[in-house]
Amino acid sequence: MKRPPIVPIVILLIASITLSHAAKPHEGQAERPNILFIVSDDHGWGDLPSNWDKTEVQLPTLDALATKGVRFPNYHTVPLCGPARACMFTGQYSTENGMWRGPGSQPFGSPDYRGIKRDVTMLSEHLAETGYNTGAFGKWHMGALEGEVPNDRGFDEFRGFLSGAHTYWIKPGRSKIMHNREPDGASEGHATELFTGWAETFIRESSAEEEPFFCYLAYNAVHGPLRIDESQPASAPEAWVNKALDRGVSFLRSDYVAILEHMDHHIGRLVDLLDELGVAENTLVVFVSDNGGCTMEEAAAGGRFPGNNGPFQGGKATTYQGGLNVPFLMNWKGRLPQGTVSDAQTMHCDIFATLLDAAGIPVPEMNGKNPVRGMSLMPHMLSAGKDTIPERSMIFELWGNIGLRKGDYKLWADVGREHSPDWAAEIAALEHTDLALFDLSKDVAEKTDLRKELPEVYASLKAELIDHFANINAEYPVPETSGPSPKEKPAATPKAPTPSSDARTPEKFFKARDRNDDGVVTLEEFIGNPKDRNVPALTKRFKQFDANGDGKLSIGELKGL
């Protein structure tokens, strides 16, 4: 018998060692865990009973998961559905990953394109590449164009809808439900029940195989449409609405409360399923809301719905704490210490890092051309909070509605939505705006501006905020082809040179606007192409800069000198 050649054997041995090291589970973990990642929609901080006992909502499943796991009442997100999900799936701020607001229909590569950059690797792609069975069920809202849908971004199985909102009652031939890449014209029933059933089937089938699963279950509960007056049909099943009404919940809140409680009941089905299949002790369960709840205020973002954001000001689409601070908890039976309530300041990007770490996948320092901002919460959780999370800045931006939190201090401003994602223009606006400074340890409702009382803190945080926008690599790599083929990553364009520290200064902005190089910027030059631009807001901003009222901006006026 011939001996096999030694060199190939050595190569194979080295390769197997390398691969086993790359997918090494967390210390003390017998095997890579399954991951059940559940996201609710527009679910305010105050409507998780373990956060806020003044809510009338009853969520026994989520309360039990929190009591037997780790709850983070100081978790922060970005206050809109698409950007929040993109941050969780990329580990980056929405200013960096390309999803600076909800995805649009503009073609990939166009100036107005909005979507996760193609050189950014999503959480689902990392997990799929290391052998996870991957399934997404429910709301996607991270892109509907070729190259953006779940099956293009690491998911083997997808059943749900691609857009930001959908009716709860699904009827054959009258919904936007998809199965993988094709319309699903046959499904019928309540969205919460359908999404749960599809996730259950995926978990059962995956558990019968040897590979771990990543089940992403994104409910549309409790996003509108919801009934808030008697002329509308309820979105929750009648029995659940009646339960709420019978115990004294107001009519205004009855459909909202019923939707949440119906969702909690079906999450309970999946928790029971994990026990039934004997996989609960090797399944990390994550529950989080995408952003703060809607409110009944006039012109409230997302529609006027009776969300409960607890003691916080604002709600969905605002960077007040009501839009940022939302429910978040994790549960891993037999692994995570029970009953841990962590007051650590955590954020959306940490979910990306934590799930990679739990799966034994190294957390990258960069994702595309911008840093990974998230950090793994596994050491913190496993130590019951004794392994502390270092103080860091958290930055949030939506349509010029900006927040920066560092420790107890929060910097806030609304500089106008016309600048995003022109970060140079945003910098110019920030430099000429008096931001508010709050001490959240004493003022969670953000009522008292301390800018004048704490000028050094204010100046330091404002400089840090401007520095963030000055150093974003905003490039969208464009593949050579018109779009990626299924299961194939597009080729990225050659790497652009790293921008210098002054790449996005007011000088750069001024030079770009001064089209005839005459040393001044007129209103017409300041506005640029008026198509799809907020001309009244830009005109108002121009007049604010135009200190001498001559209809022309000098570089000194732009810089406020």
The DSSP bridge pattern shows strands 328-331 and 70-71 to be: antiparallel
E strand intervals along 49-114: 70-71, 75-76
- The matching CATH number, chosen from 3.40.720.10, 1.10.357.10, 2.60.40.10, 3.30.2290.10, for 25-389 is 3.40.720.10
Answer with the residue of higher pLDDT: 303 or 409. 409
Which residue spans within 399-501 are E strands per DSSP? 401-406, 409-414, 436-439
pLDDT of residue 539 exceeding 80, the answer is no
CATH code at 399-470:
3.30.1120.10
Which pLDDT value is given to residue 327?
98
Domains of the chain: which residue ranges? 25-389, 399-470, 506-558
- Sign for the CA dihedral angle at 410, 416, 419, 421 comes to positive
What is the distance between the alpha carbons of residues 345 and 109, in angstroms, rounded to a whole number? 36
More confident residue, 54 or 543: 54
Classify 329 as helix, strand or coil: strand
For residue 524, what pLDDT is reported? 78
Read off the DSSP letter of residue 48. Answer: S
Tens of pLDDT along 389-401? 999 999 999 999 9
Cα of first residue to Cα of last residue in the chain, in angstroms, is 87
Among candidate residues 248, 253, 246, the one with its CA nearest the CA of residue 229:
253
Among 54-68, 186-200, 334-348, 491-505, name the one with the lowest average pLDDT.
491-505
Mean pLDDT estimate for the chain: 88
Burial class (CB in 10 A: 0-12, 13-18, 19+), 84: buried
CA 2, CA 92: separation in Å to the nearest integer? 54
Tens digits of residue pLDDT in 14-43? 333 333 333 444 444 448 999 999 999 999
Fold of 506-558: Recoverin; domain 1 (1.10.238)
pLDDT of residue 544: 65
pLDDT at 515: 65
- Indicate the pLDDT class of residue 8, thresholds 50, 70 and 90: very low
